[in-house]
Structure 1
Amino acid sequence: MKAIILLFTICLCSLVGYSQISNVGVGTNSPTATLDVNGSLRVRTLPSGSVSTDSIVTNDVNGNIRRVNASDLVKQYTGFKQMKVGADFPIPVHNSVSTGSTGTFTSSVFGACSWKVDQKTTAPTTSDRPFLKVTYTLGTALTTLPDVLIFQAKNTSSYPDSYNINLISKSLTSFSVVITRVESSASWQGNFLFDFLMITL
């Protein structure tokens, strides 16, 4: 019985002692932080995060761990709060659509997206150019409204076409553009794409 009481007393004292320790050291007998690791650190599994909501772990010259908002880091090194790139958005085929036509596609960044032709015009004379006014709806809404959108049309078809894309309006869930054929007054028939860069200043 005395042995049991002695063992219980030792365990109790140990627990009280550990509860009073404010700093714990790994590889050091003189910890200067709540957890002080003198050595390397390995994390085997980390979930994916978001630049707009997460933080980035950094360390100072003394090895102290700090937290920096990812969006602030992007702004510091680029001058912008946020940048997003949209790739391979489809340009509706002018020869095959009319006002009110719709379509769907999948974006690697914005998920399940859609487009709608708000207006279609043909060129009344050879000096004019056919165009479409199209609204693109994003599958994943933006967290901040971009200040700048830069568009770049791409020709991956066998047709020698080129296009101008001009922004009309924008929101957190969609943007509207006017797409104009540059080199011809005829309706276009090929399948064309465009990329864009969204920048929040």
Structure 2
Amino acid sequence: MKNHSNEPLKRKAYERKLRGLHEELVKLQEWAKHAGGKVCIVFEGRDGAGKGGVIKAITERVSPRVFRVVALPPPTERERSQMYVQRYLPHLPAAGEIVIFDRSWYNRAGVERVMGFCTEDQAKGFLQVVPGVEKAIVDSGTILLKYWLEVGQEEQTRRMQERISDLRKIWKLSPMDLKSYSRWHDYSRARDEMFRASDTAWAPW
């Protein structure tokens, strides 16, 4: 997993960097469209880390005919009876598509495990099988990119308080966010174990 400096860029350097990244994003889009490429991008991270903002910054600069965002609701009773990753599979990209998962099958290794929505055996079982599932995705010709967005504990607190006090942002806050906020260290342990199990040569973080 790669780490990058969090030093802020100066305005002109930021604009140059942003323009270059935008151009690369459009190149990826055009490649997928004309070559029939398939790209799956997974965004995971702590609450308040900025997943939604990053996804918005990407999708507002590209074609909705190529890019598609998947943010699944909690599973139904029927879905709970299926193989865990089964409900995610129909959303994987076809030729010419780039799919962004705003949270993904890694819910099982994170929020479900920490908040008690699955058993420890289920979480550990998921971590055992997920490398094989992702190998099958990659072997099918899909480019799989996985990103974890981190935020420090103090900054997460500030962002949570901002969401509570700002009516324009209150929609970003759920009761689950407030419950999970108090379990920082549990999430850290779950994150680290997830990385150890799923940071593979074919699907690195």
**TM-score (structure 2 length as normaliser):** 0.23
Higher helix content, 1 or 2: 2
Work out which structure has the larger RCO, using CA pairs closer than 8 Å and 6 or more positions apart in sequence: 2
Higher strand content, 1 or 2: 1
**TM-score (structure 1 length as normaliser):** 0.23
